[in-house]
Amino acid sequence: MSDEQEIYATLIEIREEPTALYKILKIANLVSGGGEAKQAIAEGYVSLNGEVETQKRKKIYAGDLIYFNEQYLQIAIAGETEGYEVVDETQLKTEYEVSTQPDVSNTAPATKAKKPRKPISF
């Protein structure tokens, strides 16, 4: 059995590499400006290839995987995206909804469920 986990990421196309990490967050519209992006990176809210990254101007190359605010971003050079699998978002949502519906048959009375964490907002 494989230990790899399937991750769905948003594909971000950049024109040239390397590109600064804070610029990627701006390009993806995950932050409202460069100052907010730099603050989020400095506070450790951003992961690059599975490790927390605090360098605001860290050089990002095609193939890097960024995690921020419960979203994954896959970096690619513009025009060179033929090796990436594209998943229809509507299909993904219906699969998620089906898999997350609880089985209510013969379950004990539930206690108050934990609320999911809210996205970071500045």
Ordered domains of the chain (ranges, CATH)? 10-80 (3.10.290.10)
Q: What is the pLDDT of residues 26-59, one digit of tens each?
A: 888 889 888 999 999 999 999 998 899 898 898 9
Side-chain-side CA neighbours of residue 31 (13 Å): 21
Name the residue with tokens 């970096």. 75
Which residue's entry shows tokens 């108050």? 112
SS3 content of the chain, % helix, strand, coil (to 5): 25, 20, 55
Q: What is the pTM of this model?
A: 0.62
Query: If pLDDT is split at 50, 70 and 90, which confidence band does 77 have?
Result: confident
Q: What is the pLDDT of residues 86-113, one digit of tens each?
A: 655 555 555 445 455 555 555 555 556 6
60-69, 73-82, 110-119: least confident range: 110-119
Per-residue confidence (pLDDT) for residue 38, from 0 to 100: 92
Model pLDDT, residue 82: 65
